[in-house]
Amino acid sequence: MLLKHPQLQTYTGIHIAGIEGKRFDIVIQNGRFTSVVEAQTQDELQHEQQDPSYQELWISPGIIDLHTHLAWTDFDHADQLKRDSLEIETMQAEAFAATLRTGVTTARDAGGILPSTIRHLVSHYRQPLRVQTSSEMLGAADAKGIKHLEKRLTDIYATGAGWIKIMATGGLGAPTEKVTDPNFTEEEFAFIVSHAHTHQKKVLVHTWGGVTIDWSIAARVESIEHGMFLTGDQAGRLAESGVAFVPTTSIYRIAADPKGVLALNPVICERAARAADAHASAIGYAKRAGVRLGFGTDYATPSLHGYNLQELDTLADYGLTRAEAWKSATQDAAEILGNGHELGRIAEDYIADAVIFAADPYQAQNADQLRKSIVTVITGAQETDLI
């Protein structure tokens, strides 16, 4: 069930995910948490539990996916171009709906969707997903010097995007031996970041590794994405700089499976497998150094939207505790977005973006079990806030 901007909603004796041994009485008014207090005595709780309608529940902040592609309907963009505009719009609306159903209440679209499209999907289809955008991506085709980049940046600003995305290296489409080669000169890269920051825009950087991670640290971008070839030394400097790391681990394991939902060709699967193997080391370096990690999926097709919680499983497999992985998807993700003062926590005066579970989410065996335990997704925002 999706509960939109509740005017008044109360939960008595509910668990807050990650806090053991306590229960809470929580009040939501006008889409915000107005009261979060420790619950009544144990005797009173036992009396309530005798009520036939009583259900033990857990509440978590809404999940924040820092790296998704809500506009894409196909893994290969050429396939999307074969679809008509109404089909694409309908599929994008379903991507919003599926994302919300899985407990993701806020997303950062990492390239592909315009703010005007979001406004239409929210108002026309009534899907209250909070989305921050980077509009178009700056890639190898834009490595044409400062004048060209200045015009491209101005055009992106005009869309209303709050983020600038730099495709600093190649990805699955690049040959293995070239995948960490920079797409821009150091001067071009530094100009993009400086220009964006001067215009109050945040910067996220697609990089598999190499020197572009060093450039990102020096320029103090807000986050690097993927980063599977991150070194231990770079992790230490990332932690010192405050630059966040959004690894998007699960997509590479999915892409590595030739019989999986993406069913990619063997060359791409091999590259993805190499990336997935490297990610475990990168996560280890980042964790030991104290890098702020953010939850992001890089999901971009109907077969993936709605399964975002798989990222929690992969992060756990790569060494994060359940609490660390959950924090990367809530409190830390909110801070990376610049919304840590109002999102990512169950606390008074915070926006009531939340997920209600029928079982302790920290004890779920996997994402499938976790997804099935969702009872309600709450979005605190009004439609006018989102458009």
Among candidate residues 65, 19, 73, the one with its CA nearest the CA of residue 309: 65
- CATH 2.30.40.10 in the chain, residues? 2-61+346-386
CATH number for the domain running over 63-329: 3.20.20.140
> Along the 387 residues of the chain, how does pLDDT read in single tens digits?
898 998 999 999 999 999 999 999 999 999 999 999 999 766 555 655 556 566 899 999 999 999 999 988 877 777 778 888 888 899 999 999 999 999 999 999 998 899 999 999 998 998 999 999 998 999 999 999 999 999 999 999 999 999 999 999 999 988 888 999 999 999 999 999 999 999 999 999 999 999 999 999 999 999 999 999 999 999 999 999 999 999 999 999 999 998 888 888 899 999 999 999 999 999 999 999 999 999 999 999 888 999 999 999 999 999 999 999 999 999 999 999 999 999 999 999 999 999 999 999 999 999 999 999 999 999 998 877 787
The alpha carbon dihedral of 324, 328, 330, 334 has a sign of positive
24-29 and 32-38 strand pairing: antiparallel
Right CATH number for 2-61+346-386 from 2.30.110.10, 3.40.50.300, 2.40.160.20, 2.30.40.10? 2.30.40.10
Q: What is the DSSP letter of 346?
A: -
Q: How many CB atoms lie within 10 A of CB 58?
A: 22
Provide the whole-model pTM. Answer: 0.94
What residue ranges of the chain are covered by domains with CATH 3.20.20.140? 63-329
Contact 74, 88 (CB under 8 A): no
Cα-Cα end-to-end distance for the chain: 22
Phi, psi values for residue 204, rounded to 5°: -120, 145
Closest CA to 170 of 275, 249, 48, 327: 275
Long-range contacts of 73-79 (CB under 8 A, 24+ apart): 73/301, 73/302, 74/301, 75/262, 75/264, 75/300, 75/301
Q: Which of 340, 337, 378 is nearest to 67 (CA)?
A: 337
Dist. CA 269–CA 252, nearest whole Å:
9
